[in-house]
Amino acid sequence: MNIALIGYGKMGKEIEAIALSRGHQISCRVDSKTTVNHVDFSDTDVAIEFTKPDLAFTHIHFFLDKKIPLVIGTTGWNDQLTNVTNKVKETNGSLLHASNFSVGVNIFFEINKRLTQLMAPHTEYNASMTEIHHTQKLDSPSGTAITLADDLIEESKYQKWNCIEDNDGVSSNTPQQLDIIAKRIPDVPGTHIINYSSEIDEIEIKHEAKNRKGFALGAVLAAEWLQGKQGVFTMKNVLNLD
């Protein structure tokens, strides 16, 4: 399989190493100095995109128009998901997006949902969330944290979330609003903690990435799975978690 790497930072290089180790080829690399309009994608079977939120939406349309399947790991554009889904239908395209490609994180998503269901009747517990990432991460809270929060809100007393950046924000202190504390620390791949606290006890679940390999492997697995398919997919489809 010939893979185009859209974004050639630390994640792009990690994806490249894993893709090559699994017998794939890199058809081209797009970095901050090169735009997709100046690259030949004629030998590309699938593109993997990890760039910036302000570029992601443009890249999505570009690859759908070119009929090239796209795996997109950039977060911060999901308010446009309805438009993207319509575009995929119009072009008979193929797109797989995820807030996190790590197999472990996607299992953590399911654990979070189940724990939320178990905790929902016990309103004496107050939930909160902490997410910690490297200082180069542009979106806050992380896409992973938003996914966790949205899943928690769907099954609980909470109606929306409130981001507190680096503890400088103000806690909501309301029973209907879930606080997400977003911290940025150098060289932290990603940590997500969900806490339930009452006057009696405390329950906590945590996922901590040790490096970027899990994210990169998941992206390559997604690219392999996407071949020959049409539609909009997520890692749930790849891992048969539905």
Please state whether beta strands 2-6 and 25-30 pair in parallel, antiparallel, or not at all (unpaired): parallel
Question: Is-catalytic flag, 113?
Answer: no
Distance CA 179, CA 126 (A): 10
Q: Are 53 and 77 spatial neighbours (Cβ–Cβ below 8 Å)?
A: yes
How many whole angstroms separate alpha carbon 161 and alpha carbon 139? 15
Cα distances (angstroms) measured from residue 110 to each of 152, 154, 241: 11, 13, 8
- 165: helix, strand or coil: strand
Question: How far, in Å, are 167, 192, 194 from residue 133 at the CA level?
Answer: 14, 9, 15
Annotated catalytic residue 33: no
Q: Confirm if 238 and 225 have CB atoms less than 8 A apart.
A: yes
Dihedral pair phi/psi, residue 36, rounded to 5°: -65, -25
- Which is the catalytic residue, given 24, 97, 133, 192? 133
Identify the active-site residue in 59, 137, 192, 207: 137
Q: Which residues are catalytic?
A: 133, 137
